[in-house]
Amino acid sequence: MAEGGSGSGSGRDERGLRRPAGELENEVLAVLWAADTALIPAQVHQALGPGLAYNTVHTILSRLHAKGAVERERVGRAHAYRPVLDQNGLTARQMRTLLDRGSDRTAVLRRFVAELGGEDEAVLAELLHRAEARSPEGVSRPADA
Amino acid sequence: MRLDVYVPMLAALLLGAGVGPLSRLWVPHAAARILVGAGVISAGCWVWALGLLGWTAVGQVPLIARYGGWSVTVLQGADPVSPAVAYAAVGMLLALTVLLAVSAVRRTRAVVRSWTLARRLAPAANGELIVVPDEAVDAFALPAFRRPAGRRAVTRAGSGHIVVTTGMLQALGPDERRVVFAHERAHLHGHDHWWLLAAQLAAAANPLLTRLPGTVDYLLERAADEHAATAVRDRGLAARALARAGLAASRAPGRPSHGLALGYGATAVTARVAALLEAPPRSRRAALVGVGLALVFVLCCAVDAGRDVEHLFELAMYARH
Ligand SMILES: [Zn+2]
């Protein structure tokens, strides 16, 4: 389980931030979920950027596999990892139905981006442009990288 | 009694009108909590004051007066509240009871729905994270409504899960995803759903506070944004993540189309991005002292009004015996 991170369970990123194992697992899982195919550790390491040591990524992948959160297959001399699709979990449609039922669902669920209007798109594009100019170091394009 | 019973009403009126300007006096995290606290106290005093006004009329009903053992004539003679005001208060209280009941039922159903969602999604969780394969761009914090029994806190958030769709993950880069995770973690840590619930119930008890829940909702989002910006130590990155997620969401298929009906509306996401591009907000201590003093004054007036009504009825009882 994700005990607050001891030993190899936690890592430091390039800013010297100590990040607990649970958060690193989230980030590795997110990379696997965002990819269309199974990824070998080197690909995951590359996708996460230079902040994390390759060994840390490898350790996290092994731990996720031990937990049954990811499955792996042999590709040449390495293992390629992909997330396990949980059959007991909720389908997207069921989740949306539960989310959208009733007008007061905001009472409990705090959605990251909600209530967008049509005219927001142009404003957001402009703001995104400004944000990218503001912190250009890591302008990482999403999964197509 | 003459004046102080009306002070809670004046306070609620001022708070209801001033919610917007007040919300900008403190950092979002503090502002949300201060406004909810002020709203709950103000709504409580308002209901209490209505009850006092109404009771002076209800106490004059002969059957109740006989039961309570006080004199209706003395009460009528000494009562400084005009019957019209007293009966208006009674009518208002009845209406508010209905409103509050409706609101309570709605909120309970929303909590039950979220609990269902949490129970159904839980098997797919790894630690605090739940990924839903869905092209819709969505992410939210799903609070746990029961503490995980027996085990030591399973996740750092301790009390819930972060749910994110593959659509959201694909729309963002790795560093931007960390912003989303930190944002949702802030909601779980802050128990934001309970704060919003309190604001909604305060507004149900006092319609003058209609704008409170929407403002608190926005402040809680802003607070989570600020927390995320601090966690990744880069406001620009936080702004970028939010703007990209918003853009992707507005372009994605199957986006829920509830539009502006919920009040805060279209400007919320853009305003949040813009706020992240500005300097971090600051809190004004003096304003907190001011609000605190105002609340103490309102509470004192409410207590004093209660004493006055008590004396009134003691007088009427004494006269009868
Ligand atoms: Zn949020």
CATH at A27: 1.10.10.10
Closest to B26 in 3D by CA, of B238, B290, B206, B211: B290
Residue A51 C-alpha, separation from nearest chain B C-alpha, in angstroms: 10
Which is more confident, B110 or A59?
A59
Q: Are A64 and A44 in contact (CB under 8 A)?
A: no
Asked, for residue A10, whether it belongs to a domain, the answer is: no
Distances (CA, A) of A102 to B127, B191, B262: 29, 22, 12
Q: Which residue has the tokens 């400084």?
A: B80
B70-75 long-range contacts, Cβ below 8 Å, gap at least 24?
B70/B313, B70/B316, B70/B317, B70/B319, B70/B320, B71/B316, B71/B317, B71/B319, B71/B320, B72/B316, B74/B315, B74/B316, B74/B319, B74/B320, B75/B312, B75/B313, B75/B316
B184: left (phi over 0), alpha (psi -120 to 50) or beta: alpha
The C-alpha atoms of residue A61 and residue A43 are separated, in whole angstroms, by 12
Asked, for residue A44, whether it belongs to a domain, the answer is: yes
Closest to B193 in 3D by CA, of B111, B129, B120: B111
Same domain, A68 and A36: yes
Judged against a pLDDT cut of 50, whether residue A130 lies above it is answered with: yes
Same domain, A68 and A37: yes
The C-alpha atoms of residue A8 and residue B213 are separated, in whole angstroms, by 44
Asked, for residue A121, whether it belongs to a domain, the answer is: yes
Q: Answer yes or no: do B249 and A103 touch at CB < 8 A.
A: no
- Identify the residue among B273, B276, B277, B278 best suited for mutation to test binding to A, counting A beta carbons within 10 A and taking the highest: B273
Q: Does B265 touch chain A (CB under 8 A)?
A: yes
The pLDDT-based confidence of A143 (bands split at 50, 70, 90) is very low
Judged against a pLDDT cut of 70, whether residue B277 lies above it is answered with: yes
Same domain, A27 and A72: yes
The C-alpha atoms of residue B88 and residue B6 are separated, in whole angstroms, by 13
Give ion ligand 1 contacts, CB < 5 A: A 110; B 221, 224
Q: Which of A48, A106, A123 sits opposite B217 (nearest CB)?
A: A106
Asked, for residue A97, whether it belongs to a domain, the answer is: no
Q: What is the ipTM of this complex?
A: 0.79
Asked, for residue A111, whether it belongs to a domain, the answer is: yes
Q: Answer yes or no: do A92 and B224 touch at CB < 8 A.
A: no
The C-alpha atoms of residue A36 and residue B86 are separated, in whole angstroms, by 69
Cβ contacts from A onto B, under 8 A: 258
Same domain, A72 and A106: no
Same domain, A107 and A66: no
Asked, for residue A68, whether it belongs to a domain, the answer is: yes
Judged against a pLDDT cut of 60, whether residue B64 lies above it is answered with: yes
Q: Answer yes or no: do A4 and B156 touch at CB < 8 A.
A: yes
Closest to B26 in 3D by CA, of B282, B286, B289, B216: B282
Same domain, A71 and A118: no
Same domain, A36 and A72: yes
Same domain, A28 and A79: yes
The pLDDT-based confidence of B16 (bands split at 50, 70, 90) is very high
Distances (CA, A) of B67 to B51, B124, B202: 19, 62, 33
Q: In chain A, which residue's Cα lies nearest the Cα of B103?
A: A104
Distance, CA B97 to ligand 1 centroid (Å)?
31
Judged against a pLDDT cut of 70, whether residue B61 lies above it is answered with: yes
- Identify the residue among B111, B115, B183, B237 best suited for mutation to test binding to A, counting A beta carbons within 10 A and taking the highest: B237
Judged against a pLDDT cut of 80, whether residue B153 lies above it is answered with: no
Same domain, A78 and A116: no
The C-alpha atoms of residue B89 and residue B79 are separated, in whole angstroms, by 15
Q: Are A75 and A38 in contact (CB under 8 A)?
A: yes
Rounded to the nearest integer, the mean pLDDT of chain B is 85
Which is more confident, A118 or B136?
B136
Asked, for residue A64, whether it belongs to a domain, the answer is: yes
Q: What per-residue confidence (pLDDT) applies to A105?
A: 47
Percent of chain B surpassing pLDDT 90: 49
Which residue range(s) make up the domain with A42? 23-83
Asked, for residue A110, whether it belongs to a domain, the answer is: yes
Q: What per-residue confidence (pLDDT) applies to B267?
A: 46
Mean pLDDT calculated for residue range A48-56 = 85
Q: What letter does residue A52 receive in the DSSP assignment?
A: S
Point out the least confidently predicted range of A4-8, B171-175, B286-290, B301-305. Answer: A4-8
Distances (CA, A) of B183 to A54, A111, B42, B226, B230: 27, 10, 30, 8, 10
Q: What letter does residue B82 receive in the DSSP assignment?
A: -
Same domain, A63 and A33: yes
Q: How many CB atoms lie within 10 A of CB B102?
A: 11
Residue B186 C-alpha, separation from nearest chain A C-alpha, in angstroms: 11
Please list every residue in chain B whose beta carbon sits closer than 8 Å to the beta carbon of residue A10.
Answer: none
Number of domains within chain A: 2
Q: How many CB atoms lie within 10 A of CB B112?
A: 12
Judged against a pLDDT cut of 60, whether residue B14 lies above it is answered with: yes
Q: Does B201 touch chain A (CB under 8 A)?
A: no
Q: What letter does residue A15 receive in the DSSP assignment?
A: T
